[in-house]
Structure 1
Amino acid sequence: MNTLFATTSRGFEELLKTELTELGAISCKVVQGGVHFNGDDETLYRALLWSRLASRILLPIASGKIYSDLDLYSLVTAQNWTAFFDEKSRFLVDFNGTNREIRHSQFGAMRVKDGIVDHFERQGKARPDVDKQDPDIRIHAYLHREDLILSLDLSGEALHMRGYREDTGKAPLRETLAAAIVLRSGWKKGTPLVDPMCGSGTLLIEAAQMEAKIAPQLHRLRWGFDFWKGHNQIAWEKVKTEAIQLAEQTVVEIQPHFYGYDVDSYVIQKAKRNAKNAGVAHLIQFKPLDVAALDNPVNTLGTVICNPPYGERLGSTPELVALYSVLGYRLKNRFMGWNVSIFSSDSALLDCLRLRSHRQFKAKNGPLDCVQKNYHISDKLKANDNKNEELPESAVEIATSPQVAIDFANRLQKNIKKIEKWATQQGLDAYRLYDADLPEYNLAVDRYADHIVIQEYAAPKNIDENKARQRLLDAVNATLSVTGIKTDKLILKVRQKQKGTNQYEKLANKGDYFYVNEYGAKLWVNLTDYLDTGLFLDHRLTRKMLGEMAANKDFLNLFAYTGSATVHAALGGAKSTTTVDMSNTYLNWVEQNLLLNDITGKQHKLIQADCLQWLAECTEQFDLIFVDPPTFSNSKRMKDNWDVQRDHIDLMTSLKKILRSDGVIVFSNNKRGFKMNLDSLTELKLSAVEISHKTIPLDFERNKQIHNCWLIRHQ
């Protein structure tokens, strides 16, 4: 009879105890991180071959108190290592834990290694070699305070390494964790199992192997017991032969009822290869599908299981709110009567499902604290009598749900019909579709080519936060349905009143850039890394006008941001362009915009500087100046703070000095209620004509105060 210990992730100990008992283990005792158990040789090999939850199966050799490194060395050398393996076997020591004397696990591993090889020498044997890459024998040492346990690791490589995964998507689940999620999901063998965001297919593969009675380690070629002198080859061959026969007998009896979907078709191909390697490819139907198009593949009841992306995988991006919201909507409207089990590290995202869980489990996914919540979808869908025939065909389904914003959907569809036709005629890829048209839905919806950006304006303080959040989620659902875009093409941002340079702070580091077309210009945008996208859509007509004015002119773009105005001026035939901004990030962006449009040459200068300080020192002259300063700035890199209302006359005083006699300043800003100080301009012998109404495009016509724009000349 062998005394053994199976390690597992914390929280899975009771599950593992049940599993080991079913495999024939006796005297099972749960401790933190594993289960002590007894079993004969066949039980030992059955645990190794069949356990879906154990990380390793250990054979304890010795234990003792460790108060110094000498105690550790003495305990190790006292063991009869030659009874476990011979000197020709290469070995490795895995040391876990520290105490006041053994402060580093590497030092502990070295002392155990020293004790083992010295024991062999004392027995007149050669010193066995250490092999960190491909050892024949693994020694496991666990130190907790003063207590040390030495064990022989009979697993070899960790048991979560099943061998069927050639390749995975981002942030794959360990196979042992996936098996635990399946076991806790409430799924019953013989019933359908659907994973709407399956990634590399691990959850479905683990479940399919359970139903097909395929031992998870059936195809493992190397074991930790291969060079163990206590290995019972007869018992091992019996256990393995039984497993092979059971798999061959069962797998042909099962009808396929596993369904895996993912928006990434490349990942789906990986999942298919993994399923083939695992021997269950014929049981699982994989296909690329966005969660917004998720539908029930069968007529019988079953279980939806899912490990959706969360912060650690994609970065804590707001668009995950949209993803979870849409998933919850599709589940409630397509899987009535089904059980659902979702695993995530973010409880706030799980709240976006708007489902009430009846059971939940805590677990670790690497360093992340995660939770698995189980739900039951009601088989009664409340009908909404407020169906509206104006909804587009793609959005008709959302009218049946009281959660979804019917009025918002109708308004968005109406705007799309009007604006997208106009945008196509104008040669525009980026434009606004909705801008707080309805007071209940205080947000903006912008299209950037095949992407949609939803920007939520901060709700007034008198609006309940939960109600505002709910309206946002409803609007997200409606936008996805009306526009028909995939969830991974929707970006959600929360807009708040910005102070100083907050609008330029980095939100993420994805580096997802693509370009859009605007009146013949190509302009790079980034929808995820910054609060702004690199292109102010409301200034589109101003940029077009600058291009038309710039022929044979020396052009200055001050407070240039990403230089879209410079691109238009250069394409319009400017003799030279000078682009000034304090941010090196944005000047790099300007450079890439110029290169994208084949604009090169020394006549196009990029200058990183405090714009006001540079202006005070500038000795050049310009024919056309575009200045679009921030409303307010207190950047540490600026000499003084800036307020456009207070300081615009000082700015004009400096600009006048570098403006040629027949030159023009195009002055724009976004301060609501801005008042041009015409009297002070007159004193400067400058004249100003407001052209704001001519520079607000069709998609911003509802908001006449989105910006103001002036032409300023010498009198």
Structure 2
Amino acid sequence: MTMERFFASCPRGLEQLLADDLLAAGAGQLEAIAGGVHFSGEWPVCYRANLDSRIATRVLWRVARAPYASEDDVYRLALETPWPLWFLTRQTIRVDVTAQKSPLRSLEFITLRIKDAVCDRFRRDSGSRPSVDTRQPDVRIQAFLSQSECTLYVDTSGAPLHQRGFRQKTVDAPLKENLAAGILRLSGWQPGVPLLDPMCGSGTFLLEAAQMALGRAPGARREFAFQRLRQFQPELWQGLLERARAAERAVTEMAIFGSDISPVAVRAALANLDRAGLLPAVRLAAGDLLEIEAPAASGILVSNPPYGERVSDDDELARFYPLLGSALKRRFAGWTCCLISADTRLPRMVRLTPSRRTPLFNGALECRLYEFRMVAGSNRG
């Protein structure tokens, strides 16, 4: 097998956790940048990264790279790339382009030029061309333009990797699964330690924690784009998949707790856990964070409290935040509480001093993960 170059993307702020995942998958020559990690490896490394990484969003295979000064340079690079070696004319394609400091004016025009080049290469080699499908393509081609260099990738993931293959019900502003998994790891939570999400929404933290505790590979129940490439090795993939499934533990009740003031949210979380086969692992109830008791003497509380567009106005937040801080002090002494928020006023308004602030991005939204250590005995009364 030959060594290939790949790029795995992730939510910004989780690059080091992604690098840890890639090292575990056998990757080499890791280079972290904002929003992802470049790495090298043979194809089994790519398969394992897609199967096992809880943090990656996509794994892209680098197929070409060259300097450019014009749209014609990009077209020629794409035309010289041997696409017919990797997929068939009858398969559909989609081209996406991202750029950073590119002097070229229109990304739409560049996207069209790359698509034309791919189709022209197929016509030259086989006399026919693939069709475009922007919704559910067989093959996604990704181009990245820096100030002076164009890199072409083939996506090996397909649907984004945070889509584990079972969540259907959502409520407003759900966290992506890979961001939730990253927050759980940043919180220091380990399976066996009591975990509570008291504003659980559709249950993303609960689903990720249960999978982690049961040793479930996040990609073991979905398909990947690399399975549609001509060089796909089904026996190798099947072996990896069987080993992953053999390592899973039986579903039993664990110290993972969830609640929400909204009955709609609780029903959504129940449906998602049931669909994933994880319902027996999690204890879920309707309840108001300001009134519930801690389910254990100590543990980790993680949550995505309301902020910004998720509430009607600032006055509502100004009333809620001090009550939240008071509830944490009164009822969660001995717990470590981790709250993600885009609202930088949160620590001041909950009247608690964070022991740690970690910058993270929820999509394009810049957030902070605030850690509050509720010291036992000091805040009661």
Report the TM-score range of the alignment, normalised by the length of the smaller protein. Answer: over 0.9
Displacement of 1:104 after TM fit?
A: 2.2
CA distance in 1 between partners of 2:221 and 2:311 (Å):
33
Could you give the per-residue CA deviations for residues 247-306 of structure 1, whole angstroms, max 9, x where no partner exists? 2xx134x541111111100110000111122332111111110122121122x4211111
Per the alignment, in what secondary structure is the counterpart of residue 227 of structure 2? coil
CA distance in 1 between partners of 2:246 and 2:32 (Å):
32
* Distance 1:382-1:163 versus aligned 2 partners, 3 A rule: closer
What residue in structure 1 maps to residue 177 of structure 2?
175
Q: Which residue type is aligned with residue 24 of structure 1?
A: G
What residue in structure 2 maps to residue 239 of structure 1?
240
Could you give the per-residue CA deviations for residues 15-59 of structure 1, whole angstroms, max 9, x where no partner exists? 110121122222222122211122233221111011111111011
Q: Answer yes or no: is 1:202 the counterpart of 2:204.
A: yes
Q: Which residue type is aligned with residue 320 of structure 1?
A: L
What residue in structure 2 maps to residue 146 of structure 1?
148
CA distance in 2 between partners of 1:187 and 1:316 (Å):
33
Kindly indicate whether the alpha-carbon contact (under 8 Å) linking 2:347 and 2:353 is maintained by their aligned counterparts in 1.
no
**Which shows bigger deviation, 272-281 or 200-209?**
272-281
Kindly indicate whether the alpha-carbon contact (under 8 Å) linking 1:7 and 1:54 is maintained by their aligned counterparts in 2.
yes
Per the alignment, in what secondary structure is the counterpart of residue 226 of structure 1? helix
Per the alignment, in what secondary structure is the counterpart of residue 206 of structure 1? helix
CA distance in 2 between partners of 1:224 and 1:95 (Å):
18
What residue in structure 1 maps to residue 34 of structure 2?
32
CA distance in 1 between partners of 2:226 and 2:67 (Å):
27
Q: Which residue type is aligned with residue 230 of structure 1?
A: Q
CA distance in 2 between partners of 1:209 and 1:39 (Å):
27
What residue in structure 2 maps to residue 265 of structure 1?
263
Q: TM-score, normalised by structure 2?
A: 0.95
Corresponding residue to 2:72 among 70, 73, 97: 70
What residue in structure 2 maps to residue 392 of structure 1?
none
- Describe how 1:126-165 pairs up with structure 2 within 5 A: 126-165=128-167
Kindly indicate whether the alpha-carbon contact (under 8 Å) linking 2:253 and 2:282 is maintained by their aligned counterparts in 1.
no
What residue in structure 2 maps to residue 286 of structure 1?
284
What residue in structure 2 maps to residue 449 of structure 1?
none
- Describe how 1:458-537 pairs up with structure 2 within 5 A: none
Displacement of 1:87 after TM fit?
A: 0.8
Q: Answer yes or no: is 1:302 the counterpart of 2:303.
A: no
Displacement of 1:98 after TM fit?
A: 6.2
Q: Which residue type is aligned with residue 356 of structure 1?
A: T
Q: TM-score, normalised by structure 1?
A: 0.52
Per the alignment, in what secondary structure is the counterpart of residue 110 of structure 1? helix
What residue in structure 2 maps to residue 274 of structure 1?
272
CA distance in 1 between partners of 2:168 and 2:253 (Å):
26
Displacement of 1:101 after TM fit?
A: 5.0
Could you give the per-residue CA deviations for residues 410-443 of structure 1, whole angstroms, max 9, x where no partner exists? xxxxxxxxxxxxxxxxxxxxxxxxxxxxxxxxxx
Could you give the per-residue CA deviations for residues 48-79 of structure 1, whole angstroms, max 9, x where no partner exists? 01111111101100001121111011111011
Could you give the per-residue CA deviations for residues 517-546 of structure 1, whole angstroms, max 9, x where no partner exists? xxxxxxxxxxxxxxxxxxxxxxxxxxxxxx
Per the alignment, in what secondary structure is the counterpart of residue 62 of structure 2? strand
CA distance in 2 between partners of 1:27 and 1:277 (Å):
39
CA distance in 1 between partners of 2:246 and 2:348 (Å):
46
Per the alignment, in what secondary structure is the counterpart of residue 75 of structure 1? helix
Displacement of 1:181 after TM fit?
A: 1.1
Displacement of 1:315 after TM fit?
A: 4.1
Displacement of 1:312 after TM fit?
A: 2.4
* Distance 1:160-1:118 versus aligned 2 partners, 3 A rule: same
CA distance in 1 between partners of 2:361 and 2:268 (Å):
25
Displacement of 1:3 after TM fit?
A: 2.1
Displacement of 1:99 after TM fit?
A: 5.6
Corresponding residue to 1:93 among 92, 95, 98: 95
- Describe how 1:376-455 pairs up with structure 2 within 5 A: 376-381=373-378, 400=381
Displacement of 1:244 after TM fit?
A: 1.3
Per the alignment, in what secondary structure is the counterpart of residue 368 of structure 2? strand
Kindly indicate whether the alpha-carbon contact (under 8 Å) linking 1:186 and 1:339 is maintained by their aligned counterparts in 2.
no
* Distance 1:17-1:99 versus aligned 2 partners, 3 A rule: closer
Q: Which residue type is aligned with residue 326 of structure 1?
A: L
Could you give the per-residue CA deviations for residues 356-383 of structure 1, whole angstroms, max 9, x where no partner exists? 2111100112232110011211111456
Q: Answer yes or no: is 1:370 the counterpart of 2:367.
A: yes
Corresponding residue to 1:121 among 120, 123, 126: 123
CA distance in 2 between partners of 1:356 and 1:63 (Å):
48
CA distance in 1 between partners of 2:187 and 2:102 (Å):
42
CA distance in 2 between partners of 1:352 and 1:175 (Å):
28
CA distance in 2 between partners of 1:353 and 1:294 (Å):
17
CA distance in 2 between partners of 1:107 and 1:87 (Å):
23
* Distance 1:110-1:290 versus aligned 2 partners, 3 A rule: same
- Describe how 1:295-334 pairs up with structure 2 within 5 A: 295-298=293-296, 300-334=297-331
Q: Which residue type is aligned with residue 267 of structure 2?
A: Q
Kindly indicate whether the alpha-carbon contact (under 8 Å) linking 2:26 and 2:41 is maintained by their aligned counterparts in 1.
yes
Displacement of 1:139 after TM fit?
A: 0.6
Kindly indicate whether the alpha-carbon contact (under 8 Å) linking 1:197 and 1:307 is maintained by their aligned counterparts in 2.
yes
**Which shows bigger deviation, 14-23 or 264-273?**
14-23
- Describe how 1:693-708 pairs up with structure 2 within 5 A: none
Kindly indicate whether the alpha-carbon contact (under 8 Å) linking 1:305 and 1:342 is maintained by their aligned counterparts in 2.
yes
Displacement of 1:117 after TM fit?
A: 0.4
Aligned alpha-carbon RMSD (Å): 1.6
CA distance in 2 between partners of 1:227 and 1:348 (Å):
48
CA distance in 2 between partners of 1:275 and 1:231 (Å):
32
Per the alignment, in what secondary structure is the counterpart of residue 352 of structure 1? helix
**Which shows bigger deviation, 87-96 or 29-38?**
29-38
What residue in structure 2 maps to residue 353 of structure 1?
350
Q: Percent identity?
A: 36
Q: Structure 1: which 5+ runs fail to align?
A: 384-399, 401-715
CA distance in 2 between partners of 1:101 and 1:369 (Å):
27
Per the alignment, in what secondary structure is the counterpart of residue 237 of structure 2? helix
Q: Which runs of 4+ in 1 moved over 4 A?
A: 98-101
Could you give the per-residue CA deviations for residues 207-236 of structure 1, whole angstroms, max 9, x where no partner exists? 11111111112211x321122111111111
CA distance in 1 between partners of 2:136 and 2:232 (Å):
19
Kindly indicate whether the alpha-carbon contact (under 8 Å) linking 1:342 and 1:374 is maintained by their aligned counterparts in 2.
yes
Kindly indicate whether the alpha-carbon contact (under 8 Å) linking 2:7 and 2:62 is maintained by their aligned counterparts in 1.
yes
CA distance in 1 between partners of 2:169 and 2:184 (Å):
21
CA distance in 2 between partners of 1:70 and 1:328 (Å):
59
Q: Which residue type is aligned with residue 251 of structure 1?
A: A
CA distance in 2 between partners of 1:40 and 1:235 (Å):
12
Q: Answer yes or no: is 1:229 the counterpart of 2:230.
A: yes
What residue in structure 2 maps to residue 682 of structure 1?
none
CA distance in 2 between partners of 1:34 and 1:91 (Å):
24
Corresponding residue to 1:188 among 190, 209, 220: 190
* Distance 1:100-1:8 versus aligned 2 partners, 3 A rule: closer
Kindly indicate whether the alpha-carbon contact (under 8 Å) linking 2:11 and 2:363 is maintained by their aligned counterparts in 1.
no
CA distance in 2 between partners of 1:365 and 1:99 (Å):
23
